[in-house]
Amino acid sequence: MSPQRRCPACGEPLYGWITASAADPRDDHTYVVDRCESCGLGMARIESGEQAADELAPDTEHELPNRASWQAGIGGDHWAAIDLPAQPVLLTPRAIELLLAKRGLRVARLRQTVFGRNQLWMWQTLLNVFTFHDNFAREILAGRLTPRTSRNLFAFAIDAGITLLAAIPVALVSLPLELVAVVLSRGGEMVVAVEREALPRRPES
């Protein structure tokens, strides 16, 4: 029996959260994403936490999806910010603090964006409730989803119609919903500035 996976941030056990498909509809892989009930970190079973921490370089701002966001809770495995396998670790503010502390780093500033990808993620997450393909609009615009790469022509046509008809009504819900989420620190995107921990001063002789 293999040992239970542990959270790289706080060391608590990881439990199964969702299964999620690769972001690119041409990739038919499905991934299991585990979650930590202590600090909230989410991690697909294709990555190590150490690599996640290494990506948080000092003196740099990092724009990251927030797994503690409302849209993550609403969307689950249909959350539009899930980008597998490119971004296999989904962090929370608490998980970031714990990971950085292990490397002698700390959060200099953490803010949540009001307008930007977070709004698009919330909008697309709500649309995903009604479509056969997750992130239909985004993948069409990226050129990764076409009638040939879709599940079938019928599903593609239905999703196209739903997206066109529901785009504005869903935006009227998603925009204020995400604004409230940001005010309550539950927005979909975090902007994190990382710096090195200050060395303790030596006592003067």
Question: Which residue segment(s) compose the domain that 143 sits in?
Answer: 14-196
Question: pLDDT tens for residues 153-202?
Answer: 999 999 999 999 999 999 999 999 999 999 999 999 999 999 988 766 66
Residue 55 has pLDDT above 80, yes or no: no
Question: pLDDT tens for residues 137-165?
Answer: 999 999 999 999 998 999 999 999 999 99
Question: pLDDT tens for residues 4-39?
Answer: 889 999 999 999 999 998 888 888 888 999 999 999
**Closest C-alpha to 20, from 40, 45, 39:** 45
**Closest C-alpha to 31, from 83, 70, 95:** 83
98 part of a folded domain: yes
Is the Cα dihedral 151, 72, 111, 170 positive or negative? positive
Element (H, E) at 110: strand 105-112
21 part of a folded domain: yes
Domain count across the chain: 1
pTM, to two decimals: 0.87
Percent of the chain with pLDDT over 90: 74
